[in-house]
Amino acid sequence: MIQSPTNIVVQKYGGSSVADAEKIKQVAERIARTYRAGKKVVVVVSAMGKTTNQLIEKAKLVSASPSRRELDMLLTCGEREAMALLSMAVTEQGLEAISFTGSQAGILTNDRHSGARIVEVRPFRVEDELDRGKVVIVAGFQGVSYRREITTLGRGGSDTTAVALAAALRADYCEICSDVDGIYTADPRVVSTAELLHAISHDEMLELAAQGAKVLHDSSVEFARRSGIALWARATSKDGGGTRVDFQPDRDRPVAGVTGQKSLIRVKVSGGAAVEHALQIIEAASIPLTHLDLEGKELRAWFTIADVPDWPAVKAKLESLLAGQLELGDEGAVSLVGHGIGGNPQMINKARQTAVAAGVPLNAVSVSPLRITLWCESAQVDDLTRALHQAFVA
Ligand code: ADP
Ligand code: ASP
Ligand code: MG
């Protein structure tokens, strides 16, 4: 179905784009240019600079395993600060602006604190203010549950706020603006020869995001795929260009990109009853696993510590219930992502040989239709990312 244009544009600005007053003013100028070009502008903003990390550090000064509810109360302050300052800066541009928290903007979530999922968006207040000619600034990364509890969407979740709002408003497009020009074939901070992609499919981007490429939050890609919203990743410092997420790219090489993840916690449990206990603890703590390997009476599961803010308490529970049957480790993983590559034995072998030639011992290899993942020590993730990029991309 072809949708008629609404003239609504959703722009999301990440923490580094609003890190100080000067940057906030530059973002306000960019917003004003879009408004003056005749668009209705909705802006989603993240907390300034490293504010979210600083708030987590503050919490740790008073509690090693803070309650997830109270942590959500605390962390949402970061986006609230940014939205109010940005609204003031946009007003200085001669426009009318109003800021809303996630709850005011109608972002309704489930009640899983720290990692809530958006279940519905009711953007009535946003629509009313757009109709009054205002620029609407919405705090990213947060929502409200049906029990009126304030929730957060997981680290990097402002991207998801933006795409979910864009879908609900049937925006013409959604721009995720950050300190990079778009989606590269690898993190340009790790691989200096990484190339900017002009297009990437939803499936490939979802896989890259899920395997560590934090340039887009994985759920934001899911929302884009489901709603068909045109999604762009582009630089805050430019008005156009970037990567369009949705086109089936016209590429001659099978690999879209390479991405690494460091410091994954590996939980290894042996014994039938112990495996059951471990799975119950993982479920009760709502730990989003990045990988799971369950074979007979042995379980191995991996996740990122940033997704489990009360990890000391969860770890203590695992240790007390599974004494003698539990092994905890730290591991890294590097994934090659592209349509069909996980089913290609030549590519799997070439990836293994590349690791050997780079002097990176592998702990394991796993595949899915869209990826090949090589497991190694965290300290070797960047070296392996560079070697695989060289072998498969350029
Ligand atoms: P923001 O704070 O604006 O949300 P993020 O830090 O979350 O920005 O995401 C942008 C960062 O993502 C870049 O600075 C870059 O280091 C990193 N990144 C990781 N993988 C990629 C990739 N494949 N392409 C582009 N950037 C990537
Ligand atoms: N401020 C939050 C974070 O640092 C959300 C975001 O940046 O998207 O994770
Ligand atoms: Mg981000």
What integer pLDDT is reported at residue 246 of this predicted model? 85
| Confidence bin at 251 (pLDDT 50/70/90) | confident
Tell me the pLDDT band of 124, cut-offs 50, 70 and 90. very high
Residue-wise pLDDT for 353-371, tens only, equals 999 999 999 999 999 999 9
Looking at residue 250, its pLDDT comes to 77
- The answer as to CATH 2.40.30.10 being correct for domain 257-392 is no
Share of the chain above pLDDT 70, in %: 99
What share of the chain in percent tops pLDDT 90? 92
pLDDT, tens digit, 9 for 90 and up, residues 35-58: 999 999 999 999 999 999 999 999
Cβ(167)–Cβ(226) below 8 Å: yes
157 Cβ closer than 6 Å to some ligand 1 atom: no
The pLDDT score that the predictor gives to residue 65 is 92
Q: What is the mean pLDDT of residues 136-151?
A: 98
What does the mean pLDDT of the chain come to? 95
Q: Provide the token pair at 118.
A: 């958006």
What stretch(es) of the chain map to CATH 3.40.1160.10?
8-245
pTM of the shown model: 0.96
Residue 152 CA to ligand 2 center (angstroms) comes to 9
The 3-state DSSP class for residue 26 equals helix
User: Which residue type is seen at 350?
Assistant: K
The residues, any chain, with a CB within 8 Å of residue 116's CB and separated by 6 or more, are 109, 110, 143, 145, 151, 152, 153, 154
Which pairing describes strands 257-270 and 326-337: parallel, antiparallel, or unpaired? antiparallel
pLDDT given at position 252? 86
Predicted pLDDT at 394: 86
Nearest listed ligand to the Cα of residue 78:
2
Kindly report, as residue ranges, where domains of CATH 3.30.2130.10 are found in the chain.
257-392
179 CA to centre of ligand 1 in angstroms? 7
Residue-wise pLDDT tens digits, 56-101: 999 999 999 999 999 999 999 999 999 999 999 999 999 999 999 9
| pLDDT band at 2; cut points 50, 70, 90 | low
- With a 6 Å cutoff on the Cβ, whether 180 touches ligand 1 is yes
Q: Residue 4 — pLDDT band, cuts 50, 70, 90?
A: confident
| 361 Cα: distance to centroid of ligand 3 (angstroms) | 31
With CA atoms as reference, report the closest residue to 234 among 154, 159, 168, 130.
159
Residues with Cβ within 8 Å of 382's Cβ and at least 6 positions away in sequence, in order, are 190, 260
Q: Is 156 helix (H, G, I), strand (E, B) or coil?
A: coil
Over residues 304-318, the mean pLDDT reads 92
Q: What is the pLDDT of residue 47?
A: 98
Residue with tokens 């007979």: 296
Would you state the pLDDT for residue 125? 98
Instruction: Tell me the mean pLDDT in the region 111-117.
Output: 96
Pocket test for ligand 1, best of 44, 175, 178, 371 (most atoms within 8 A of CB): 178
Closest CA to 257 of 307, 306, 212, 322: 212
Residue 1: pLDDT over 80: no
Q: Beta partners for 372?
A: 336, 367
Q: Is the Cβ–Cβ distance between 178 and 236 less than 8 Å? A: yes
- Any ligand 2 atom below 6 A from CB of 156: yes
Question: What pLDDT, on a 0 to 100 scale, did the predictor assign at position 310?
Answer: 92
**CA pair distance 295, 366, nearest whole angstrom:** 14
User: How many other CB atoms sit within 10 Å of the CB of residue 207?
Assistant: 26
Candidate CATH numbers 3.30.300.30, 3.40.1160.10, 3.40.50.2300, 2.60.40.10; the one for domain 8-245: 3.40.1160.10
For residue 121, list its beta bridge partners.
107
Write the pLDDT tens digit of every residue in 182-217.
999 999 999 999 999 999 999 999 999 999 999 999
pLDDT score of 97: 98
Nearest alpha-carbon partner for 97 in 162, 34, 174? 34
The answer to whether the CB of 103 is under 6 A from ligand 2 is no
Ligand number nearest to the C-alpha of 156: 2
8 Å CB contact between 162 and 13: no
Give dist(CA 83, CA 126) in Å, integer. Answer: 14
Dihedral over Cα of 240, 246, 248, 251: its sign: positive
The mean pLDDT value for 229-243 works out to: 95
Ligand 1 in contact with 212 (CB < 6 A)? no
CB 194 within 8 A of CB 186: yes
Write down the pLDDT at residue 70: 97
Best mutation site among 50, 77, 141, 307 for ligand 2 pocket (most ligand atoms within 8 Å of CB): 141
pLDDT on residue 180: 96
